[in-house]
Amino acid sequence: SKQQPAIIENNNYNINKSEQHNSDNNYIAFLESQGIELMMRCLRERVHSGHGALRILTFCLGNQNKKNLNIETAQLCNGNNKNNYAACEIFVDAGGFKLLFPLLMGRSTSIPKPASCSDAGKKLLNNKKKGSKLSKLAKRQKKAKKEWMEQITQNTIYILYYLLQYINSGDNGDDSKMSSCLEIKNRLLAKFLESDFEKSDRLVELLLRYDTQSRIAEKKFYISDEAEYAENHSEELEVELMAFHEKLKGGGDLFHRVGSLLAFVSGGSKRCHAHILEQLRLKGSGIGVVKAAVSELINILEDGLQKSHLEKLLAVL
């Protein structure tokens, strides 16, 4: 198949993730062998492999607990793993912020380019006749391009969230770790002040988008045949859990992560706080949507460091 090289490359990245998952020794060896730096280099090259490299970085920085593996579902664990924190330190020291924020902003000069043999990398076929429907191939290519960009944005959000957890871990460390985390915290906050708060604006945009998407997903479930069957054959609580699961898959989990990031930025900078409030007001919303995102995440987390850190962020708001 013409897509075989891209498929093989994606499979190789999945194998890498699987090997890290199945053995702590493999995970440590990956860090010690400069695996993070290699993935960052792939990203800088802006080639197809950068997409898979970003997935590896997401897994590596978020591999706090063996239960906490799948970024496509709710990540409800409270990992406190030294290897995870080491991965975060390596990522930041190697210039991770310079890679992340252009991806968050969707800068075309930073986005990895999909291989020309993949659907996402092919030139979109345009129909000559105006008003005519897109062919199946054109629809598939359009969908692939959209998914390519969405996955980059999603992985970037998760990495930022994991870095936030690392920063918060400094509260329970020694003086040197507290100093290191404080320095990274200040650097991260400074990023959201740059360029007339454009990164803060981006978080607000994403928060409202994922909030809408999650509500739509939940509504679609309740009017589906699956929900009707469940209501007739299951307990009410089970139906609610199924609806919540669909909400998380539809954007709710990302809504929680972006809300937590906004709470961190808003609580860490008075200027950012005032700007975020104004942007939410202009979009017909308010700080309540940020509080709702953080509160929902707190309610589904087990007791632990992650939950206590989020409770502190919520209290500041």
Domain boundaries, the chain: 1-125+133-172, 195-317
Instruction: Return the pLDDT at 173.
Output: 61
Instruction: Return the pLDDT at 121.
Output: 87
A 10 A CB-CB count for 47 gives 15
Q: Would you say 78 and 304 are in contact if contact means Cβ atoms under 8 Å apart?
A: yes
Instruction: Return the pLDDT at 75.
Output: 38
Instruction: Return the pLDDT at 79.
Output: 41
Instruction: Return the pLDDT at 119.
Output: 87
What contacts 220, CB < 8 A, 6 or more positions away? 246, 250
Q: Which residues of the chain have pLDDT under 70?
A: 1-23, 63-83, 125-132, 171-174
Per-residue burial over 48-61, b if 16 or more Cβ lie within 10 Å, else e, is: bbbbbbbbbbbbbb
Instruction: Return the pLDDT at 137.
Output: 85
User: What gap in Å lies between CA 187 and CA 193, rounded to an integer?
Assistant: 10
Please state the pTM of the whole predicted model: 0.84
pLDDT digits (tens, 9 = 90+) for 40-80: 999 999 999 999 999 999 998 986 444 433 333 333 333 44
User: What gap in Å lies between CA 206 and CA 202, rounded to an integer?
Assistant: 6
A 10 A CB-CB count for 100 gives 24
Instruction: Return the pLDDT at 277.
Output: 97
Instruction: Return the pLDDT at 123.
Output: 81
Instruction: Return the pLDDT at 74.
Output: 34
Which conformational region is residue 297 in: left (phi greater than 0), alpha (psi within -120 to 50 degrees), or beta?
Answer: alpha
Instruction: Return the pLDDT at 69.
Output: 36
Q: What is the mean pLDDT of the chain?
A: 85
